[in-house]
Amino acid sequence: MEQHGTGRPHNGTRRGTPPLPPQAKRGGSGGGAGGGARSAGQRRPAARPAIRPAAVRQPGPPLVEAVRRLPNPRLTGLGSGLFCGALMFALGCLDQLLFGASLTLYGVLFLPVCLLTAVWVRKGDLATALVVVPIAFALGLLPVADSSGGLLGRLMGLVTALATQAGWLYGGTLLAGLIVTARKAALMRHHRTARRRPPTH
């Protein structure tokens, strides 16, 4: 005896119910796919490594700030010697022509030349400034010193000028030494801070 209504059609649906859409057969509806896309789009981006802000240079004393605003060339040891010697010789010639070989004026002009030489020499040749400064002082005295009596008289005038103006020579050399020492200490402190700083990725 035949029994009706107990079998199922081959497509897996009960008799009397409409077939499911193709999206449902594949295991998801349009709304579910959209929700998955939205959830994927709402994922947080990967955390970026924190960028350390650059250090802000604090303003220093007015004299230091004024020196920083000057031209800042970098002279080698030989370049600093040529610069200091040529400038002092030129200043000595001007002193001879305009002021009648004033040794006091020459000594005063020697101080800023020492300052510029110590500031402009490069970091690897800092000690050179202490050598070239006294040589440049003696070289610039050639047109200023007493030149009467031929070569021997000029040599004696140079020795006399060096003896009488030794205070300016020591003062300029001391000024250059202080600047070189300060630059060397700042360079060592910078290297020490760079070694302690953790590497950034």
Where do the structural domains in the chain lie, given as residue ranges?
Answer: 74-193
User: Taking a C-beta distance cutoff of 8 angstroms, is the pair 176, 136 a contact?
Assistant: no
pLDDT tens readout for residues 1-39: 444 544 454 554 555 555 555 554 454 444 444 444 444
pLDDT at 147: 75
Q: Please name the residue ranges forming H helices in the chain.
A: 22-25, 30-41, 62-68, 77-99, 103-120, 129-140, 150-164, 166-196
pLDDT at 34: 46
pLDDT at 15: 52
- Please identify every stretch of the chain with a pLDDT value under 50, giving residue numbers as ranges: 1-3, 5-7, 9, 12, 24-25, 27-41, 55
Give the pTM: 0.61
